[in-house]
Amino acid sequence: MPDRSARAKPMAPLPGAAPGIQPFVHLTPISTPDAARYALAAEAETSVLDPAGMRRLWVRDLSALVALVLAVLMAVLAVRGIAYGESEDVLPILVPFMIVVNLANASSVFFPAALCRALPAPGVIPKLPAARWRWYRQLRQEPTTAAPSGAWPPGAEAYALLSGAASVHSVAASWLCERAGLPAVVGAAWIASLRGQGWLNGGGRTLGLASLPETHLQVTPAGRAALQAERARITALAAG
């Protein structure tokens, strides 16, 4: 483990380049085994999961369940109305049901970003209902604050952001920057650069309004390829 008290000399940040485009530039300027170990240690110690937000994700499941129940009730009422010739009496009841179902479906799409700053990667939350609710109950026994992040070496900004975003399904940009230890303005500039290279998608405010939750960022396949290539490079360097 490198000595955290001995900070390396600041390295000029490199913007990187998409794989296959010349001239190729590594995602980080790391060129020594110590700096490589430093970055890998920071990656292992940094999590962008939102413990408090994950506790609230059951609301998303409840919303989907409400939509399903209401859809079934709508179908039953519609069939009953047709079978008994009461369609005119049933229609005023069906319209409010349809509105509520649509709202519930919409909430299942927009709620997650408002509920949780980082949605877990696929497979983290169990699919079976019983296992899923046990998972939610287990979360109630976990701390609600995120553990301190690792200290990243200078020049690893792009790697830190891609690594954090790739570890989850999606993440709010402000939370990603906070977990990577980057000031908001600096992190926003790096995210814009990574988005411009096609390595990140999404981000920004819903409908452009600051009062609404952020839309989440996601890593693109090209971004994952760049991250994996750089991780392999610095892992080999750290072993040297």
- Residue 16 has a pLDDT of 44
- Residue 86 has a pLDDT of 61
Percent of the chain with pLDDT over 90: 26
Give the residue with greater pLDDT, 91 vs 67: 67
- Residue 76 has a pLDDT of 74
Give the residue with greater pLDDT, 39 vs 133: 39
- Residue 218 has a pLDDT of 93
- Residue 92 has a pLDDT of 67
What is the pLDDT confidence band of residue 231, given thresholds at 50, 70 and 90? very high
pLDDT digits (tens, 9 = 90+) for 149-189: 888 888 899 999 999 999 999 999 989 999 998 888 888 88
Q: Between the CA atoms of 44, 45, 46 and 47, what dihedral angle is there, to the nearest 10 degrees? A: 90
Which of 73-82, 123-132, 142-151 comes out lowest in average pLDDT? 73-82
Give the residue with greater pLDDT, 24 vs 100: 100
Give long-range contacts, CB 8 A cutoff, 24+ apart: 20-29.
Answer: 26/230, 26/233, 27/158, 27/159, 27/162, 27/226, 27/227, 27/229, 27/230, 28/155, 28/156, 28/158, 28/159, 28/230, 28/234, 29/155
Residue 58: C-alpha distances to residues 36, 69, 80, 145, 237 (Å): 39, 16, 33, 18, 43
What is the pLDDT confidence band of residue 18, given thresholds at 50, 70 and 90? very low
- Residue 160 has a pLDDT of 93
Give the residue with greater pLDDT, 43 vs 140: 43
Report for 58-67, 123-132, 225-234: range of highest mean pLDDT: 225-234
Taking all residues of the chain, what is their mean pLDDT, rounded to a whole number? 76
Give the residue with greater pLDDT, 140 vs 164: 164
- Residue 10 has a pLDDT of 41
pLDDT at 15 over 70: no
Which of 10-19, 69-78, 109-118, 213-222 comes out lowest in average pLDDT? 10-19
For residue 170, give the 3-state DSSP assignment.
strand
pLDDT digits (tens, 9 = 90+) for 38-88: 999 999 999 998 887 777 776 667 666 766 777 777 777 777 766 766 655
pLDDT digits (tens, 9 = 90+) for 190-215: 998 899 888 999 876 655 555 566 78
